[in-house]
Amino acid sequence: MTQPLAGKNVVVTGGGTGIGFGIAKALAEAGAQVALAGRRVEKLQEAAAQFTGEPTMLTHAVDVSDLKSVEALFGWAGETMGDIHILVNSAGINIPKRSMAETSPENWEKVLQINATGAFYCMHTVLPQMREREDGLILNVSSIAGKRALLLGGVAYCASKFAMTALGSTAALEEQQHGIRITNIYPGEVETPILDNRPAPVSAERRSKMLQPEDLGAAALMIACLPPRAHIPEIVVKPTVQDWA
Protein backbone atom coordinates (compact mmCIF):
# COMPACT_ATOMS: atom_id res chain seq x y z
CA MET A 1 0.00 0.00 0.00
CA THR A 2 1.46 3.36 -1.04
CA GLN A 3 1.78 6.07 1.59
CA PRO A 4 1.85 9.41 -0.23
CA LEU A 5 2.07 11.40 3.00
CA ALA A 6 4.92 9.45 4.60
CA GLY A 7 7.27 11.88 6.34
CA LYS A 8 4.60 14.56 6.73
CA ASN A 9 3.67 15.86 10.20
CA VAL A 10 0.08 16.93 10.80
CA VAL A 11 -1.71 18.70 13.65
CA VAL A 12 -5.52 18.42 13.73
CA THR A 13 -7.47 20.59 16.15
CA GLY A 14 -10.85 19.21 17.11
CA GLY A 15 -9.29 15.88 16.25
CA GLY A 16 -10.98 13.75 18.87
CA THR A 17 -14.36 13.43 17.16
CA GLY A 18 -16.33 14.14 14.02
CA ILE A 19 -14.80 15.76 10.97
CA GLY A 20 -11.47 16.33 12.71
CA PHE A 21 -10.96 12.64 13.37
CA GLY A 22 -12.28 11.69 9.94
CA ILE A 23 -9.59 13.85 8.35
CA ALA A 24 -6.92 12.73 10.83
CA LYS A 25 -7.60 9.07 10.09
CA ALA A 26 -7.44 9.56 6.32
CA LEU A 27 -4.11 11.41 6.53
CA ALA A 28 -2.67 8.87 8.98
CA GLU A 29 -3.66 5.98 6.70
CA ALA A 30 -1.70 7.76 3.97
CA GLY A 31 1.42 7.60 6.14
CA ALA A 32 1.43 10.97 7.93
CA GLN A 33 2.38 11.37 11.57
CA VAL A 34 -0.78 12.88 13.05
CA ALA A 35 -1.28 14.66 16.36
CA LEU A 36 -4.85 14.99 17.60
CA ALA A 37 -5.50 18.14 19.63
CA GLY A 38 -8.61 19.12 21.57
CA ARG A 39 -10.03 20.05 24.94
CA ARG A 40 -10.94 16.58 26.18
CA VAL A 41 -7.89 14.38 26.66
CA GLU A 42 -9.92 11.20 27.15
CA LYS A 43 -11.70 11.71 23.81
CA LEU A 44 -8.38 12.28 22.08
CA GLN A 45 -6.94 9.11 23.56
CA GLU A 46 -10.03 7.08 22.63
CA ALA A 47 -9.83 8.37 19.07
CA ALA A 48 -6.10 7.72 18.75
CA ALA A 49 -6.60 4.15 19.96
CA GLN A 50 -8.95 3.51 17.03
CA PHE A 51 -6.06 3.91 14.61
CA THR A 52 -3.84 0.85 14.71
CA GLY A 53 -1.51 1.70 11.85
CA GLU A 54 1.96 3.23 11.85
CA PRO A 55 3.02 5.74 12.88
CA THR A 56 0.62 5.78 15.82
CA MET A 57 -1.42 8.90 16.46
CA LEU A 58 -0.22 11.34 19.11
CA THR A 59 -2.45 13.45 21.36
CA HIS A 60 -2.15 16.78 23.16
CA ALA A 61 -4.69 18.93 24.98
CA VAL A 62 -5.42 22.41 23.65
CA ASP A 63 -7.94 25.18 24.14
CA VAL A 64 -7.79 26.99 20.80
CA SER A 65 -9.44 30.06 22.32
CA ASP A 66 -6.36 30.53 24.54
CA LEU A 67 -3.23 31.74 22.71
CA LYS A 68 -0.85 30.40 25.36
CA SER A 69 -2.48 26.96 25.08
CA VAL A 70 -2.06 27.06 21.30
CA GLU A 71 1.57 28.09 21.61
CA ALA A 72 2.15 25.23 24.05
CA LEU A 73 0.59 22.78 21.58
CA PHE A 74 2.88 23.78 18.74
CA GLY A 75 5.89 23.97 21.03
CA TRP A 76 5.23 20.37 22.03
CA ALA A 77 4.56 19.36 18.42
CA GLY A 78 7.84 20.85 17.27
CA GLU A 79 9.81 19.04 19.96
CA THR A 80 7.97 15.74 19.47
CA MET A 81 7.34 15.61 15.72
CA GLY A 82 9.53 18.24 14.10
CA ASP A 83 8.31 20.64 11.43
CA ILE A 84 4.54 20.79 10.94
CA HIS A 85 3.70 20.32 7.28
CA ILE A 86 -0.10 20.31 7.52
CA LEU A 87 -2.45 22.08 9.93
CA VAL A 88 -6.12 21.15 10.04
CA ASN A 89 -8.32 23.67 11.85
CA SER A 90 -11.37 21.59 12.72
CA ALA A 91 -12.16 22.75 16.26
CA GLY A 92 -15.65 24.22 16.35
CA ILE A 93 -18.81 24.54 18.41
CA ASN A 94 -22.40 25.72 18.17
CA ILE A 95 -25.03 26.49 20.77
CA PRO A 96 -28.67 25.36 21.18
CA LYS A 97 -30.11 28.87 21.54
CA ARG A 98 -28.78 30.36 18.34
CA SER A 99 -31.24 32.95 17.00
CA MET A 100 -30.42 36.66 17.35
CA ALA A 101 -33.14 36.98 20.00
CA GLU A 102 -31.78 34.05 22.03
CA THR A 103 -28.00 34.36 21.68
CA SER A 104 -26.37 35.84 24.77
CA PRO A 105 -23.27 38.03 24.52
CA GLU A 106 -21.36 35.36 26.44
CA ASN A 107 -22.29 32.63 23.97
CA TRP A 108 -21.59 34.93 21.01
CA GLU A 109 -18.06 35.49 22.31
CA LYS A 110 -17.57 31.79 23.03
CA VAL A 111 -18.53 30.69 19.51
CA LEU A 112 -16.47 33.40 17.80
CA GLN A 113 -13.47 32.78 20.05
CA ILE A 114 -13.33 29.04 19.32
CA ASN A 115 -14.46 28.92 15.70
CA ALA A 116 -12.74 32.01 14.29
CA THR A 117 -10.14 33.32 16.72
CA GLY A 118 -8.98 29.77 17.47
CA ALA A 119 -8.22 29.19 13.80
CA PHE A 120 -6.35 32.51 13.68
CA TYR A 121 -4.27 31.60 16.74
CA CYS A 122 -3.25 28.27 15.21
CA MET A 123 -2.39 29.82 11.86
CA HIS A 124 -0.51 32.70 13.49
CA THR A 125 1.57 30.22 15.48
CA VAL A 126 2.41 27.72 12.72
CA LEU A 127 2.88 30.04 9.75
CA PRO A 128 6.36 31.38 10.66
CA GLN A 129 7.95 27.93 10.30
CA MET A 130 6.05 27.33 7.05
CA ARG A 131 7.30 30.65 5.65
CA GLU A 132 10.86 29.80 6.61
CA ARG A 133 10.55 26.41 4.91
CA GLU A 134 8.56 27.91 1.98
CA ASP A 135 6.10 25.05 2.16
CA GLY A 136 2.96 24.20 4.09
CA LEU A 137 -0.72 23.32 3.83
CA ILE A 138 -3.55 24.58 6.04
CA LEU A 139 -7.04 23.11 5.83
CA ASN A 140 -9.74 25.23 7.47
CA VAL A 141 -12.94 23.31 8.10
CA SER A 142 -15.53 26.04 7.70
CA SER A 143 -19.15 25.27 6.78
CA ILE A 144 -21.80 25.94 4.18
CA ALA A 145 -22.84 28.49 6.82
CA GLY A 146 -19.59 30.28 6.01
CA LYS A 147 -20.71 30.87 2.42
CA ARG A 148 -24.36 31.75 2.94
CA ALA A 149 -26.35 32.70 6.03
CA LEU A 150 -28.54 29.85 7.27
CA LEU A 151 -31.21 29.98 9.96
CA LEU A 152 -30.20 26.46 10.88
CA GLY A 153 -26.68 27.58 11.81
CA GLY A 154 -27.70 30.60 13.84
CA VAL A 155 -26.27 34.09 14.04
CA ALA A 156 -23.08 33.40 16.02
CA TYR A 157 -22.14 30.23 14.12
CA CYS A 158 -22.70 31.82 10.71
CA ALA A 159 -20.73 34.91 11.73
CA SER A 160 -17.86 32.76 13.01
CA LYS A 161 -17.74 30.69 9.84
CA PHE A 162 -17.90 33.77 7.60
CA ALA A 163 -14.95 35.09 9.61
CA MET A 164 -13.09 31.80 9.14
CA THR A 165 -13.78 31.98 5.40
CA ALA A 166 -12.34 35.49 5.16
CA LEU A 167 -9.37 34.53 7.32
CA GLY A 168 -8.42 31.59 5.12
CA SER A 169 -9.07 33.36 1.81
CA THR A 170 -7.09 36.46 2.70
CA ALA A 171 -4.19 34.57 4.26
CA ALA A 172 -4.02 32.32 1.18
CA LEU A 173 -3.50 35.35 -1.05
CA GLU A 174 -0.78 36.68 1.24
CA GLU A 175 1.05 33.42 1.84
CA GLN A 176 1.08 31.96 -1.68
CA GLN A 177 4.36 33.79 -2.34
CA HIS A 178 5.90 31.65 0.44
CA GLY A 179 4.75 28.38 -1.12
CA ILE A 180 1.96 27.99 1.47
CA ARG A 181 -1.46 26.73 0.38
CA ILE A 182 -4.60 27.37 2.43
CA THR A 183 -7.89 25.66 1.63
CA ASN A 184 -11.31 26.45 3.05
CA ILE A 185 -13.51 23.34 3.23
CA TYR A 186 -17.27 23.95 3.34
CA PRO A 187 -19.18 20.86 4.48
CA GLY A 188 -22.91 20.60 4.31
CA GLU A 189 -24.66 18.51 6.96
CA VAL A 190 -22.37 15.94 8.55
CA GLU A 191 -23.31 13.36 11.16
CA THR A 192 -21.11 14.49 14.06
CA PRO A 193 -21.58 15.23 17.79
CA ILE A 194 -22.29 18.91 17.02
CA LEU A 195 -25.78 17.79 15.99
CA ASP A 196 -26.53 17.22 19.67
CA ASN A 197 -26.59 21.01 20.15
CA ARG A 198 -29.32 21.64 17.61
CA PRO A 199 -32.49 23.25 19.00
CA ALA A 200 -34.58 20.29 17.77
CA PRO A 201 -33.56 16.61 17.79
CA VAL A 202 -32.30 15.28 14.45
CA SER A 203 -34.17 12.23 13.19
CA ALA A 204 -32.44 8.98 12.28
CA GLU A 205 -33.79 9.33 8.73
CA ARG A 206 -32.19 12.75 8.32
CA ARG A 207 -28.90 11.56 9.82
CA SER A 208 -28.82 8.67 7.34
CA LYS A 209 -28.71 11.12 4.44
CA MET A 210 -25.92 13.27 5.87
CA LEU A 211 -22.23 13.16 5.04
CA GLN A 212 -20.03 11.00 7.26
CA PRO A 213 -16.70 12.24 8.70
CA GLU A 214 -14.79 9.89 6.41
CA ASP A 215 -16.25 11.73 3.40
CA LEU A 216 -14.45 14.87 4.52
CA GLY A 217 -11.38 12.74 5.17
CA ALA A 218 -11.38 11.65 1.54
CA ALA A 219 -11.65 15.27 0.36
CA ALA A 220 -8.84 16.40 2.66
CA LEU A 221 -6.61 13.55 1.53
CA MET A 222 -7.10 14.50 -2.12
CA ILE A 223 -6.06 18.08 -1.36
CA ALA A 224 -3.08 17.01 0.75
CA CYS A 225 -1.76 14.71 -1.97
CA LEU A 226 -1.65 17.37 -4.68
CA PRO A 227 1.81 18.57 -5.74
CA PRO A 228 3.00 21.94 -4.34
CA ARG A 229 2.22 23.64 -7.66
CA ALA A 230 -1.51 22.86 -7.27
CA HIS A 231 -3.79 24.77 -4.90
CA ILE A 232 -7.50 24.32 -4.22
CA PRO A 233 -8.61 27.57 -2.53
CA GLU A 234 -12.00 26.21 -1.52
CA ILE A 235 -14.17 23.13 -1.83
CA VAL A 236 -17.85 22.51 -1.05
CA VAL A 237 -18.83 19.00 0.03
CA LYS A 238 -22.56 18.44 0.51
CA PRO A 239 -24.84 15.46 0.92
CA THR A 240 -26.56 14.40 -2.27
CA VAL A 241 -29.81 15.32 -0.49
CA GLN A 242 -29.35 18.56 1.49
CA ASP A 243 -32.02 20.43 3.45
CA TRP A 244 -31.08 24.12 3.32
CA ALA A 245 -33.69 25.25 5.85
Which amino acids are annotated catalytic? Answer: 157
Report which residue type is found at 112: L
Closest by Cα among 142, 27, 141, 45 to 85: 27
Give the integer Cα–Cα distance in Å for 195 and 207. Answer: 9
Q: Which long-range contacts (CB under 8 A, 24 or more apart) does 63-68 make?
A: 63/39, 64/13, 64/91, 64/114, 64/117, 64/118, 64/119, 64/121, 64/122, 65/110, 65/113, 65/114, 65/117, 65/118, 65/121, 67/121, 67/125
Q: Which helix (H) or strand (E) holds 187?
A: strand 180-187
Report strand pairing: 136-141 vs 180-187.
parallel
Report which residue type is found at 60: H
- Contact assessment for residue 139 and residue 87, using Cβ atoms and an 8 Å cutoff: yes
